[in-house]
Structure 1
Amino acid sequence: MALKINTQAPNFTLPSTSGSSFTLRKDMADKPCVLYFYPKDFTLGCTAEACEFRNEFEEFANVDVPVLGISKDDIATHLLFKEKYCLPFDLLADTAGIVIKMYDAVIPIIGYTRRTTYLLDASHRIIAVYDNVLYPQGHISAMIQAIRKNLTP
């Protein structure tokens, strides 16, 4: 079960494809963002999901809402994935799965990362959640609608 709407998103620090560490409270200070958790780079569903975020990236950029992808893959794999699919957003490496657990993005018993997407407002309160998405396509447009409803005048 994902974290609940209206709760404060946990702070974390992870290595980023930007070449430095990413810390939620520092790097997104006073800024909304999308955090999407996914199982694995280069798999069919995760590639489709990343490419849909890429294809719709302008919608997020137009309202200044950064997108960040998080999986257990390491930075080297993330960099290859980002380059191959021309992803315009950073990927974060949670190789130990600590942040994935903090955000309840784990499938119980088997321990795989569950496809979970959070929209955080500027104070990093969770304002929208898409949890246990079996199909990678479609939830991105719903996230865009949540941004329009909650973050735009």
Structure 2
Amino acid sequence: MPRGIGVGDKAPDFTLPSASGEPVSLHDRIGENAVVLYFYPKDDTTGCTAEACAFRDSYESFTDLGADVIGVSSDSVERHEAFAGKHRLPFTLLSDAGGKVRKLYGVPSTLVVLPGRVTYVIDRTGTVRHTFNSMMNFGAHVTEALEAVRRLQEESA
């Protein structure tokens, strides 16, 4: 696996299907907004549900600061649709079947088989400005990303 994408790197572009089946490209989301891109292991597991609901509960704060939230896992479009509906997730979930984009970003696996949990904050130019990697500290992904987006907002003001 390649070295992980880090602060200062250009975020690799990709196109993946959303929960509705529509293709979503990163380059279409960057420019107008910052993007909080978070990779997580699996829909409807305890930790991933807690993380997704924490992003949901802070979603308005992200959008007020000019940021778009996108979650990525290898779950199917259908699983994402059910997961988003069940938990009223207002943000985009993308299906990375086979983990191609996960590998492109260098998101590590835990215990060799469990996909990792990494959050990236990408500015309007497509540059990664913050990363956070923790399998167990679900809420910190949201608080770290929100603080990074606030800093971006302050810099652009």
Q: Same fold (TM over 0.5)?
A: yes
Unaligned 5+ segments in structure 2 are none
Q: Does 1:5 align with 2:7?
A: yes
Stretches of 4+ aligned residues off by more than 6 angstroms: none
Aligned match of 1:25 = 27
Within a 5 Å distance, the mapping from 1:2-151 to structure 2 comes to: 2-107=4-109, 110-151=112-153
State the superposition RMSD in angstroms. Answer: 1.6
Question: 2: CA distance between counterparts of 1:75 and 1:106?
Answer: 23
Alpha-carbon distance change, 27 to 147 in structure 1, aligned in 2, over 3 angstroms: closer
1:137 offset after TM fit, Å? Answer: 1.6
TM superposition score normalised by structure 2: 0.90
Alpha-carbon distance change, 123 to 30 in structure 1, aligned in 2, over 3 angstroms: farther
Is the partner of 1:137 in helix, strand or coil? Answer: helix
Residues 121 and 151 in structure 1, CA contact (< 8 A), matched pair in contact too: no
Q: Which has more helix, going by share of residues?
A: 2
1:19 offset after TM fit, Å? Answer: 3.6
- When the two structures are aligned, how many residues end up with a matched partner? 153
Question: 2: CA distance between counterparts of 1:28 and 1:18?
Answer: 20
Letter in 2 for 1:12: F
Residues 35 and 118 in structure 1, CA contact (< 8 A), matched pair in contact too: yes
Residues 2 and 129 in structure 1, CA contact (< 8 A), matched pair in contact too: no
Question: 1: CA distance between counterparts of 2:133 and 2:152?
Answer: 18
Percentage of identical aligned residues: 35
Q: Which has more strand, going by share of residues?
A: 2
